Amino acid sequence: MSISRTTPLRVAVLASGRGSNLQAIIDAIEAGQVQAQIVAVISNKKDAVALDRARKHGIKDLFVDPKPFAGRPDSREAYDRALLDILQQHDVELVLLAGYMKIVTAVLVNTYANRMMNIHPSLLPSFPGLDVQKKAIDWGCKLAGCTVHFVTEGVDEGPIIIQAAVPILDDDTPETLAARILVQEHKIYLRAVQLFAEGRLRVDGRQVLIDDAKPSDEAIISPT
Ligand code: GAR
C-alpha cells in the first residue's frame, strides 16, 4: 500500500562528475513528476559539473574535500562521518549516488540502509565496477543496460529496484553504448525515487517488492 506524504521527500545527491542523472531528477521534480525536494548536492570533486547544475537551480551545493581526511587509517569512514553530519543537518530522508565515484562505507550505508540508492550502467549482477560498457562489449553480450539498487557495503551489490535493457550493436564503442544506456538511466532513476516517495518499495532479503508494480510483458530480443 502506498502512503501519501504531506511534505516532499527530502533528498540529497552525491555526485563526482557531469551530473546528467542529477539533472534528469531536478527536471522531473520541477515538472511535478517526482514528489521530492533536493536539499543538497554534495561532491568530493571541487569542479564537478553537478555542483554547477545544483547552483543553477537554487539547490545548495557543497564540496567536501577528501584531502584533510587522507593519510589516516580511517580516512574513508572519517570522510563519510563528515557527509553524514551534513545529511543529518539537512534532515535527508533519501540519499542518491549519481556518478559518485567514491566507495561509501558502513558509516553511511548503515545509517541510510534501504534509504540510499545508486545507479550503475550495467545489468547487475553482471559487470559491477568500472568500464562496464567496454566489458559488456568485449564479452560479446547482446544486451546491456542500467540498474538502480539500494546501496550496501558490497560495491554494486545491493537489492535491485529497477533495470532497463538496451541492445548492443555490432559497431558499438563504449561511448556509443554508454550514451544509449544513459538515456535509460535518465528514465529509471527518477522512477525509483518516485516509487520511494510514494512508499511503495519494501526490501525482503535480496528482493525489492514494489506495491502495484506493472510488470512489462515485452521481451527485448537482440538482434531481432
Ligand atoms: C552514469 O552512467 C552512472 O551510471 C555511472 O556514472 C555515470 C555518471 O553520469 N555510475 C557508475 O559507474 C557508478 N558505478 P552522470 O554524472 O552524468 O550522472
Three-point CA angle 152, 179, 58, nearest 5°: 70
Ordered by start, the domain boundaries in the chain are: 9-210
Superfamily of domain 9-210: Formyl transferase, N-terminal domain (3.40.50.170)
**Pairing of the two strands 143-150 and 116-120:** antiparallel
Main-chain dihedrals φ then ψ at residue 205, nearest 5 degrees: 65, -125
Low-confidence ranges of the chain (pLDDT < 70): 1-3
120 is catalytic: yes
pLDDT value at position 1? 57
pLDDT value at position 131? 98
Say which DSSP state 75 is in.
Answer: H
Each residue of 195-220: pLDDT tens digit?
Answer: 999 999 999 999 999 999 988 889 99
Residue 189: CB atoms within 10 A of its CB come to 25
Q: Do 12 and 90 contact (CB within 8 A), yes or no?
A: yes
Each residue of 157-179: pLDDT tens digit?
Answer: 999 999 999 999 999 999 999 99
Ligand 1: distance of its center to the CA of 1 in Å? 32
Residue nearest to atom 10 of ligand 1 (CA): 99
CA atoms within 13 A on the CB side of 205: 1
Nearest ligand 1 atom, CA 20:
17
Alpha-carbon 158 to chain mean position: 12
As given in the structure block, the three cell numbers for residue 107 are: 558509516
Residue nearest to atom 13 of ligand 1 (CA): 120
Residues 38 and 18: their CA atoms lie apart, in Å, by 17
pLDDT value at position 204? 98
Ligand 1: distance of its center to the CA of 121 in Å? 7
